[in-house]
A and B are shown apart, each in its own frame.
Chain A
Amino acid sequence: MRLRVLAVLAPLVLALTACDTPAEPEPPIACASGAVSGQGSSAQTNAVNAWIKAYQIACADAAVAYTSTGSGAGVRAFIEGTGDFAGTDTPLAGTDLQRAGTRCGGPVVHLPLVIGPIALAYNVAGVGDLRLTPQTIAGIFSGTVTAWNDPAIAGDNPGTVLPATKIRTVHRSDGSGTTANFLRYLTAAAPSSWPHGSGSDWPLPGGDGLRGSHRVVAAIARTDGAIGYVESSYARVTDLPTVRVGTPDGSWAQATDEAAAQTIASAQVSDDLRLEIDYTAATAGAYPIVQVTYELVCRTKITPVTRSFLTYAAGRAGQQAAEQAGYAPLPPALQTQVTQAIATLG
């Protein structure tokens, strides 16, 4: 009797209750089976490792391997036929591009998948907020600005008490994409103050040269007066303060993922998705010193599992994983372009 009463009345009561709609699920990864391998840039290793873990967890029949050999070695190996993709911090040009095309039997595609700011981390007693224009940065790293209370630095930081501490610059002693991107910025943004050119190797004597960003950041952390350039995730995990860089519109940009993404969003994108960043463009709040890592793939020769893996990496879940690993997510418009480009491969 009681159950019948409940059965009759419960719907009346439940009519007052709202049905609970479940949360919208994340779209699943479109898995493929097989093995895919890549090699190259060490700057993107953490992002790629995060993708590999997530992809392999979701796709039981796939195996992905990435060897962090550095951009140069990675590109050479790709040209010689090793690996399904290569990670490079610098787009291919000239002979390398031709040889890669020969390897692929057709065009090579650059897929910008990992981006992030290059931060100028520093360790100066009593200075918590530091602003530097591109010209001052060039002066510091070229050795013409040698003390923290130099008029150039004081001019960028009115009202800030600056110590007379000697500046100790720290740079990468090994060839690196981080160096290449930093020098590319200095050459474009402060050409009169930085006439030393660009490239993967540090061009000047002096300063402290160390292998690997982890040693650079450790050197900055233990040296009063030190300043160096590193991927921003290194500065973040070691709680080192970073410079606010002067931009052409007169503002000062912090090395955040959002500010870096703004610079990327305003870059010119070529047909094969190479980005041309205009360091002299005035975009409010955009942090100009950025690093872009590309995955090189053959346009016509690509395995289904490689395409599936790269589709995941370029998608929302993959870019979230990269963000959690310390990188900036691709701006939405670029993400769409990259995803569409991957869909046309093969």
Chain B
Amino acid sequence: MAYRDGVPAIEIRRDTPGLLRLFTALTAVVAVVLLTALTVVMISVRDQVRLIGRDAAPQAATAADLYFALSDLDAQVTRILLAGDGDESASSRIDALGVYRDRGYQADRDLQSSTADSAVTLRLMDGLAVYRQRVGQALAAPSAADRLGYWTQATNLLHQRLLPDAQRLREQSQRRLDDAYAQKSATETTGTAVAVLLGGALVALLIFLQIWMARRFHRLWNPALLAATAISLLLALSATVVLQLQSRQLADGRDAGLGPHLALSELRALGYDAAADTGRYLVSANLSYYRDDFTAKSDCLTGDPACKIRSLDRALSSGSASVTAAASARGGLAQVAGPVAAGRWAAYQAVHQRILALADSGKTAEAVGLLTGIRRGDAAFDFAYFDASVADATETRRQHFDRSLRAAETTLTGWSWLPTLFLTAVLSLLPLAVRPRLAEYR
């Protein structure tokens, strides 16, 4: 053994077998590093896709659903009070009671499954209990004045405490979803860099080895090395394609599916709350506050610049301003739900104005009839007609996201173990390629 300064020296043999072993070892090391890095990246991306699709996105949808359920809960209370105890409106009252009950369950279920801010969730549960107590008191109140008093408390509680808290949960869940997308994007960038750089390095080393061996051993082709090179190239390119493809699939799911779905849920909840203002106007004996409130909400539904609800500006961020704008509720129904929904809301607005005009001229019974009737041109039908179009659009967007998610998950299928398979093949082919040449030197 040779020594340098008293320390055993590692001699690099510069003869052919030594160089062959060195280049082979280097190639194998790069292959192992690529295998490890690619496997880690693919597993991370797969887990992040699952987090988005099975956790963050459902949570965002649940928070949006909670907001909608609370909005409609109060709308049903208004219907119940308007129906009163009359024989003719008995069926309307029992229908409204049934929907009130269902929305209550919906809100309870959404709160139960919420994994967001526990303090806000607890506050909502407590507030909902108080709201139900006030509604019960309103329905059982002995006089119209008491009924109005308890109902005012209930609807104030809902709008000033419950809905803002539900809005907070909605915003938190959307932020979490944005963060999940951002983290996945960072992992994809890393994975693409690994595939391109390390994969490229491996392919380059294999080609170099092929050329070097061809020159040293005067043999043109080494089939095992050729196969290893082809497999490495396929792996690097496929990994890059897979990462890019699932990224586009999930981004499309967000931009054309989930983002608009959440915006539509918000607009739908706003629509329910606005329509309830028509009934609140009648229950409160024509209080102008509810006329103005309807106008303010309707401005947002039509995308009017006068809309003052700031939360509508929020949308799932894609980084692209135009894409973010298209998925935002700020643009109103026409932008997110299409002209049919916008047209049907305009029709409801018209009947709302007729109802208010009847109420203002003292024809309250006629106004209630126009509000609760289900003929074309009656408010209850026109609102159901509008809601059907928004519900269709919302469901279409949700299905789009589900399809994109399934496509992304399918694209990633097998990629937690495919790098191991490919690179094990490469690592097996390397000794097959060099052993016969090394044997010539024994």
Q: Which residue of A lies closest to B413 (CB)?
A: A16
Q: B376 within 8 Å of A by Cβ?
A: yes
Smallest distance from the beta carbon of A55 to chain B beta carbons, Å?
11
| Cβ-defined partner of B413 (8 Å) among A17, A68, A211 | A17
| Cβ-defined partner of A20 (8 Å) among B242, B384, B407 | B407
**Nearest 3 Cβ contacts at the A-B interface:** A45-B91, A17-B410, A237-B97
Contact: A233 with B410, CB < 8 Å? Answer: no
With A16-B413, A42-B90 given, is the CB distance from A325 to B384 under 8 Å?
A: no
Contact: B411 with A13, CB < 8 Å? Answer: yes
Q: B399 within 8 Å of A by Cβ?
A: yes
CA distance A9 to B384 in the complex (A): 49
Contact: A325 with B95, CB < 8 Å? Answer: yes
**Majority-rule SS of A interface residues:** helix
Contact: B94 with A234, CB < 8 Å? Answer: yes
A100-108, A131-139, A212-220, A332-340 - interface stretch: A212-220
14 chain-A/chain-B pairs, Cβ below 8 angstroms: A14-B245, A17-B410, A17-B413, A20-B407, A22-B403, A46-B91, A46-B94, A52-B381, A53-B374, A53-B381, A53-B384, A56-B374, A237-B97, A325-B98
Contact: B237 with A5, CB < 8 Å? Answer: yes
With A13-B245, A16-B413, A56-B376 given, is the CB distance from A49 to B95 under 8 Å?
A: yes
Contact: A211 with B87, CB < 8 Å? Answer: yes
Q: A180 within 8 Å of B by Cβ?
A: no
Contact: B93 with A214, CB < 8 Å? Answer: yes
Q: What 1/0 flags go to A36-77 for Cβ under 8 Å of B?
A: 000000100110010011001100000101001000000000
With A20-B406, A68-B88 given, is the CB distance from A238 to B97 under 8 Å?
A: yes
**Chain A residues with a Cβ under 8 A of chain B:** 5-6, 9-10, 12-14, 16-18, 20, 22-23, 42, 45-46, 49, 52-53, 56-57, 63, 65, 68, 211-215, 233-234, 236-238, 325-326
| Cβ-defined partner of B381 (8 Å) among A9, A18, A56 | A56
| Cβ-defined partner of A9 (8 Å) among B238, B375, B410 | B238
Smallest distance from the beta carbon of A274 to chain B beta carbons, Å?
25
Q: B290 within 8 Å of A by Cβ?
A: no
Smallest distance from the beta carbon of A333 to chain B beta carbons, Å?
28
Query: Which residues of B are found within 8 Å of A49, using beta-carbon distances?
Result: 91, 95, 374
Contact: B97 with A13, CB < 8 Å? Answer: no
Q: B241 within 8 Å of A by Cβ?
A: yes
Contact: A18 with B374, CB < 8 Å? Answer: no
Q: B159 within 8 Å of A by Cβ?
A: no
Q: Which residue of B lies closest to A66 (CB)?
A: B374
Q: B25 within 8 Å of A by Cβ?
A: no
Q: B414 within 8 Å of A by Cβ?
A: yes
Query: Which residues of A are found within 8 Å of B411, using beta-carbon distances?
Result: 13-14, 16-17
CA distance A237 to B411 in the complex (A): 47
Query: Which residues of B are found within 8 Å of A237, using beta-carbon distances?
Result: 94, 97-98, 101
Q: B244 within 8 Å of A by Cβ?
A: yes
| Cβ-defined partner of A13 (8 Å) among B238, B385, B403 | B238
Q: Which residue of A lies closest to B101 (CB)?
A: A237
CA distance A271 to B437 in the complex (A): 94
With A16-B414, A17-B411, A214-B93 given, is the CB distance from A326 to B238 under 8 Å?
A: no
CA distance A13 to B412 in the complex (A): 10
Query: Which residues of B are found within 8 Å of A68, using beta-carbon distances?
Result: 88, 91
Query: Which residues of A are found within 8 Å of B357, using beta-carbon distances?
Result: none
Contact: B238 with A233, CB < 8 Å? Answer: no
With A46-B91, A237-B94, A238-B97 given, is the CB distance from A57 to B245 under 8 Å?
A: no
Query: Which residues of B are found within 8 Å of A46, using beta-carbon distances?
Result: 91, 94-95
CA distance A211 to B245 in the complex (A): 66
Q: B388 within 8 Å of A by Cβ?
A: yes
CA distance A20 to B87 in the complex (A): 52
Contact: A12 with B238, CB < 8 Å? Answer: yes
Q: Which residue of B lies closest to A68 (CB)?
A: B91
Q: Given A5-B237, A10-B245, list of 14 further CB < 8 A pairs?
A: A10-B241, A13-B238, A16-B410, A17-B407, A17-B411, A20-B403, A42-B91, A49-B91, A56-B385, A212-B87, A214-B85, A233-B98, A237-B98, A238-B97
Smallest distance from the beta carbon of B30 to chain A beta carbons, Å?
21
Q: What 1/0 flags go to B225-259 for Cβ under 8 Å of A?
A: 00000000000011001101100000000000000
Q: Which of A20, A65, A237 has the most CB of B within 10 A?
A: A237
Query: Which residues of B are found within 8 Å of A236, using beta-carbon distances?
Result: 98
Smallest distance from the beta carbon of A327 to chain B beta carbons, Å?
11
Q: What 1/0 flags go to B401-442 for Cβ under 8 Å of A?
A: 001001100110110000000000000000000000000000
Query: Which residues of B are found within 8 Å of A233, using beta-carbon distances?
Result: 94, 98
Query: Which residues of B are found within 8 Å of A65, using beta-carbon distances?
Result: 375
CA distance A65 to B373 in the complex (A): 10
Q: Which residue of B lies closest to A239 (CB)?
A: B101
Query: Which residues of B are found within 8 Å of A23, using beta-carbon distances?
Result: 399
